[in-house]
A and B are shown apart, each in its own frame.
Chain A
Amino acid sequence: DAKTTQPPSMDCAEGRAANLPCNHSTISGNEYVYWYRQIHSQGPQYIIHGLKNNETNEMASLIITEDRKSSTLILPHATLRDTAVYYCIVNTNTGNQFYFGTGTSLTVIP
Chain B
Amino acid sequence: GAVVSQHPSRVICKSGTSVKIECRSLDFQATTMFWYRQFPKQSLMLMATSNEGSKATYEQGVEKDKFLINHASLTLSTLTVTSAHPEDSSFYICSALTTSGAYEQYFGPGTRLTVT
Task: Please report A residues at the B interface, Cβ cutoff 8 Å.
Answer: 2, 36, 38, 41-46, 87, 93-95, 97-103
Asked whether B45 lies within 8 Å of A100 as measured between CB atoms, the reply is yes
- One of B13-21, B75-83, B104-112 contacting the partner: B104-112
Complex interface bits, B43-70 against A, C-beta within 8 A gives 1, otherwise 0: 1111001000000000000000000000
Are A102 and B112 within 8 A (Cβ)?
Answer: no
Answer whether A93 and B102 are a contact pair too, CB < 8 Å, given A46-B1, A100-B45, A103-B43.
yes
**How far apart sit A100 and B95, CA to CA, in the bound complex (Å)?**
13
**Known interface pairs A44-B107, A46-B105. Does A99 touch B46 (Cβ–Cβ under 8 Å)?**
yes
Closest to A89 in B: B105
Q: Within the assembled complex, what's the spacing in Å between the Cα atoms of A87 and B107? A: 13
Interface SS of chain A: loop
Q: Is the CB of A95 within 8 A of B108?
A: no
Known pairs A98-B46, A98-B105; list 6 more (Cβ under 8 Å): A38-B44, A41-B110, A45-B107, A46-B104, A46-B105, A99-B46
Chain A residues with CB below 8 A from B36, complex form: 100
Give the complex CA separation of A102 and B42 in angstroms. Answer: 7
- Map CB proximity to A onto B12-35 as digits: 1 under 8 Å, 0 otherwise: 000000000000000000001010
- Check B107–A43 contact: CB distance below 8 A: yes
Residues of B within 8 A of A41 (CB): 91, 110, 112
* Chain A residues within an 8 Å CB radius of B49: 97
State the CA gap A38–B75 with chains docked (Å). 23
Q: Which residues of B contact A43 (CB under 8 A)?
A: 4, 6, 93, 95, 107-110
A46, B102: Cβ atoms closer than 8 Å: no
Select one of A36, A38, A94 contacting B103, CB under 8 A.
Answer: A94
Once bound together, how far apart are the Cα atoms of A44 and B36, in whole Å? Answer: 11
Bound complex: CA of A87 vs CA of B36, how far in Å?
Answer: 15
| Among candidates B43, B103, B106, B110, residue contacting A100 with C-beta atoms closer than 8 Å | B43
List residues of chain A with CB within 8 A of the CB of B97.
95
Cα A94 to Cα B44 with chains together (Å): 20
